[in-house]
Amino acid sequence: MDEYFKNQVAVVTGAGGTLCSEIAVDLACRGARVVLIGRTAGKLQSVADRITGNGGTCLIRPGDVTDEGAMKEIATELQKTWGACRFLINGAGGNNAGAITTNTAFEPSELDAERPAGSVGFFDLDLECFETVLHINTLGTVIPCRTFGRTMAEAGRGAIVNFASMNSYRPLTRVPAYAMSKAAIVNFTSFLAAYLAPAGIRVNAVAPGFFVNERSRKILCTPEGGLTRRGENVISHTPQKRFGEARELLGCVEWLLNDEAAAFVTGVTVPVDGGFLTSVGI
């Protein structure tokens, strides 16, 4: 139990995911009352079982973070039952296969009417899929900040942690929509930090490096447990020569949320990447 977090309301979006589930469990272990928001009730229930099994307190609220009406309903309910949100972790987001190229750079065959089967270049991307990625990663952060941030402003205090990415700094090949949206998160975090400072709210972000989850495992690892070519490239650019583990993100998030330890920290994005950003591979 941590007296700083004890009985404080923490909202975690994307709470069923690999990273945010660990954050939610950690905050609950520290005494926070945690609200688990995500699209899949089953995944949220698994996290809730871990929390209650450890003696923690939580609520499951399945929902789409891009639905402002749904988020307002949750915020209103919390205000009446547990009080104002004190901590908001915006972990919801994702990618879409239709917004990912197979090519890492332009190839003349991309323009051919009869191009190779399965070959997807920038000119072939499905724009509707592209837009869904921008939507979930940007508005999926903006909307919770508006709804839960409002209750923070009314209370005169709060801390928000958004989720950026390595793509925020370097547009990795094949994922232009994801990179574009995660770059926007860094800019939005800076804007909101300056805007909400008079309300007593600090806004920061974390930029996780390569942590293996269900989605990235298919990209970075082979079925046999080895590394794909892309996985090898990631490791070769990571000085610590490994992928991150979810628990290794906790210390940074706890620090950013703590108004005592990080009282004068707002508007920053902190990489937690095993040194990935330090290496150009030469």
Task: Indicate which residue of 4, 169, 178, 195 is catalytic.
Answer: 178
* 58-to-35, 46, 61, 70, 256 alpha-carbon distances in Å: 6, 12, 10, 18, 21
Q: What are phi and psi of 168, to 5 degrees?
A: -65, -30
Give one DSSP letter per residue of 1-52, joined into a string. --TTTTT-EEEEETTTSHHHHHHHHHHHHTT-EEEEEES-HHHHHHHHHHHH
Q: Is 242 helix (H, G, I), strand (E, B) or coil?
A: coil
Spatial separation of the C-alpha atoms in residues 41 and 215, rounded to whole Å: 18
Spatial separation of the C-alpha atoms in residues 158 and 163, rounded to whole Å: 17
Could you tell me which residues are beta bridge partners of residue 169? none
Spatial separation of the C-alpha atoms in residues 105 and 35, rounded to whole Å: 42
Could you tell me which residues are beta bridge partners of residue 221? 227
Could you tell me the two tokens for 274? 């095993």
Is 4 designated active site?
no
Are the CB atoms for 162 and 188 separated by under 8 Å? yes
Could you tell me the two tokens for 18? 């690999």
Are the CB atoms for 163 and 137 separated by under 8 Å? no
> Which residues are catalytically annotated?
178
